[in-house]
Amino acid sequence: MRTLVASADSYSGQERRTRDRIAGIQLRRRQKRLAAEAEERRKAHNGFDIAAALELHLDEITTRRAMIGLLESWLHEARQSDATERNDNYVRALEDAIKVMTTAPDPISAIAVLQRASG
């Protein structure tokens, strides 16, 4: 059984994806699932798929600290919106995602944890 060990080394995008495939990490976007399956999953969880949103930014934001910064900017925007527009469930989902990203060894592991938690 292989275990994923976090390292401080910096990998290029291709090296990171290769390393993660070898370790067995498989993100939803890379699985090329049918859109109908993905849509069904989103309906069951109130429409807040933070993991999918983070995964879309994975190629451009590669460090855990940068991902936390992105989540914090989304949280700040969500809290600044008018009371009529604010969705407390979205704010809670972002806060939970920040906690997961903070404790995870790297962004990919955090996204995988968020994906498992969302169904």
pLDDT tens digits, one per residue of 7-55:
545 666 667 666 666 666 666 665 555 555 544 444 444 567 899 999 9
Residue 55 lies in a domain: yes
Q: Which of 22 and 118 is assigned the larger pLDDT? A: 118
Looking at residue 117, its pLDDT comes to: 84
Residue 106 lies in a domain: yes
Residue 4 lies in a domain: no
Residue 8 lies in a domain: no
Q: How confident is the model at residue 111 (pLDDT cuts 50, 70, 90)?
A: very high
Residue 65 lies in a domain: yes
Q: How many domains, the chain?
A: 1
Which of 1-5, 47-51, 73-77, 89-93 is predicted with the least confidence, judged by mean pLDDT?
1-5
Residue 102 lies in a domain: yes
Report the C-alpha gap between 32 and 14 in whole angstroms.
18
Residue 3 lies in a domain: no
Residue 6 lies in a domain: no
- Structure-token match 């080394």, residue found: 9
Looking at residue 51, its pLDDT comes to: 92
Give alpha helix (H) positions in 8-87. 13-23, 28-31, 35-44, 50-56, 64-80
Report the C-alpha gap between 97 and 119 in whole angstroms.
15
Residue 104 has pLDDT above 50, yes or no: yes
Looking at residue 44, its pLDDT comes to: 41
Report the C-alpha gap between 95 and 20 in whole angstroms.
26
Report the C-alpha gap between 101 and 58 in whole angstroms.
13
Range of the domain at 83: 13-118
Total-model pTM = 0.60
